[in-house]
Amino acid sequence: MSREIREKIEKLRQELNRHNRLYYQEAAPEISDEQFDFMLKELENLERLHPEYDDPLSPTRRVGGEPVKEFTTVQHPRPMLSLANTYNEDEVEAFTRRVSDGISGREAVYHCELKFDGVAVRLEYESGRLKLGATRGDGVSGDDITGNIKTIRNVPLTVQGTDVPEKLEVRGEVLMPLSSFKKLNSQQVDAGLKLFANPRNTTAGTLKLQDPKIVARRDLRFFAYGVFSEDHPFSTHSEGLDFLAAHGFQIYPARSLCKNLAEINRFIAEWEEKRDSLPFEIDGVVIKVNQTGLQEDLGFTSKVPRWAIARKFSARQASTLLKDIVLQVGRTGAVTPVAELEPVFLAGSTISRATLHNEDEIRRKKLSPGRYVLIEKGGDVIPKVISVDESRPVPEGPVWQMPSQCPECGTGLIRDEEDAVARCPNPECPPQVRGRIEHFASRDALNIDGLGESVVDLLVSSGLIRSAADLFTLTRDQISGLDRMGEKSAENLIRAIGSAREQPFSKVLFALGIRHVGANAAKILAKNFKSFENLAAASEEELTRVNEIGGATAASVATWCRDEQNRNLVLILQQAGLQFEDFSSSALITDSPFSGKTVVFTGTLVTRKREEAETIIEKLGGKAAGSVSNKTHYVVAGSEAGSKAAKAAELGVPVLTEEQFNEMIAPYV
């Protein structure tokens, strides 16, 4: 009996996988959705009654497994590099010339394919079974999202065939069809929830959800665009894609082999015209040298392959009515004019608002409510007003004038002669209060999980907090008593606020929101002055002596530190346990091989991230720089090292391999 049950389970799995492939890859379904669901339900019941036959790659896992608390980070065996972008024919021609120069008279064939506007992922298969699904991340490492990848119905969970290598890496793009995106937003409307912005952002957010069951309910698709296998090398890029198509992976058929620039440009023109007819978003065409041998000879720069380029399409435009110009107040008091537009659908989303930057920009473009304007999406993401639509009649009425008072608190606006932006000088202005707290809790600052825009608004509007310092006096009972906040949410938020005490001085300094002090400037200031006390005592002249700290930043820091209210905030935060000293300075080693030396990293490091390596150099008394010069003492070259290594050789600067670097730092780390 047990043998019969096992055979039935295996047969159901095989049939469901076959029908999945027929539906998604071949668009030739043999059974109805109801029949498919009936078979799936039958398999679910058998697996529940017979857990001894469990298989993590069963088709039933498409509906989602158990939620995860966090995603683990995985290293990519070979970097997932981005592509260089180009926007016109001249730059494509320049690319083909560079390729021709780099292959010494040999003839390149180019493979042209669509550039999907989705999220790049990497899949690993061992013995034909899906082992890992990972995001691109920073190109060197990404998040393990295998549980979410399994829910994507056109991702093969197993790869059949005698020619399937033991280890196979497949790269591709996950995206959401436009029809599914519209359906999802329709459900949001029915539920009274906020609409999603566009398919790409929705896809990225979905893949990072910690509950695979929710991911399974959203119709994501996977299109493969690359394959790697040391056991089964492919002589051309197109051969690799043909292999994937023959083994159950979805390859979009819009691709072409082109022998010259004219054929490449014809392909680009064809799909720029057809892009709106596709069931999903694309933002250009990818052009790759087809022969993998030539790809290896051309190699990489530090950031991009030399054998591929992305020809981006022109941003799409639309004409719509400028209904009004309203003012938006930011955390620094900057007052930004925002265009209220007649809603118009453009490049995958409905646009109803766009920033106008400042009063001078409005005057230059002669914008005023009642006029029709041309809008476009920069990079098909950020909407912006390009100009008035000269083909439309100009209505009668007064020219728009910048108000003299803050729209939120009524305080008179001020504008420095050298500043294009008007500002509200009232630090108690409500949007400034909310903005400062949101910035304080943001990822690059103190990274307080759960303290987003809606929760900050709830805490401020309820009167529980008026500044970032008030966060550390909150109690669980106060939070749980608010609308939409229960005991568990309150407990998690209190814990997250407590974790801010562990953040280093550089992040605390950035969290204070001092104008012109970004995350990098905060790190530089913390390293050079060691404590807030030293920083506050420094003059503008002393601040500007620090490398990479300019006059505007120095003046802003000095002014902020002199303000009594700001100093009181720092005192309260110190009492709350936040770090206002750079304790890492005590760990500096002054007798290492890198003490007093300037080091530049190039290429991709295998054993650690570049940021970690640069931190090690700093702890060993050296300086990590971004470019090679006569003042550089060492260049550390990882894989696919680019022009920096060449320049080092030209200047006579010693170039270390990653192995040599690791040997030199081994006694100290």
Task: Please list the active-site residues.
Answer: 115
Cα three-residue angle 245-295-304, rounded to 5 degrees: 95
Strand ranges of the sheet holding 308-312, from the earlier edge strand across to the other edge: 85-86, 308-312, 282-289, 110-116, 255-258
Cα dihedral: 201, 206, 208, 209 (round 10): 140
Query: What are the backbone dihedrals phi and psi of residue 457, each rounded to the nearest 5 degrees, phi first?
Result: -60, -40
How far apart are alpha carbons 185 and 620 in whole angstroms?
53
Question: 487: which residues sit within 8 A by CB, 6+ positions away?
Answer: 476, 480
Q: How far is CA 379 from CA 346, 348, 608, in A?
A: 12, 12, 32
State the angle between helix axes of 551-562 and 564-575 in degrees (0 to 180), rounded to the nearest 10.
80
- DSSP-derived 3-state class of residue 384: strand
How far apart are alpha carbons 308 and 296 in whole angstroms?
12
Q: How far is CA 643 from CA 29, 72, 299, 613, 649, in A?
A: 52, 33, 12, 20, 10
CA 159 to chain centre: 30
Strands 372-378 and 382-388: antiparallel
**H runs (alpha helix) in 576-626:** 610-619
How far apart are alpha carbons 596 and 593 in whole angstroms?
9
How far apart are alpha carbons 336 and 376 in whole angstroms?
19
How far apart are alpha carbons 358 and 356 in whole angstroms?
6
Structure-token pair, residue 41: 């339900």
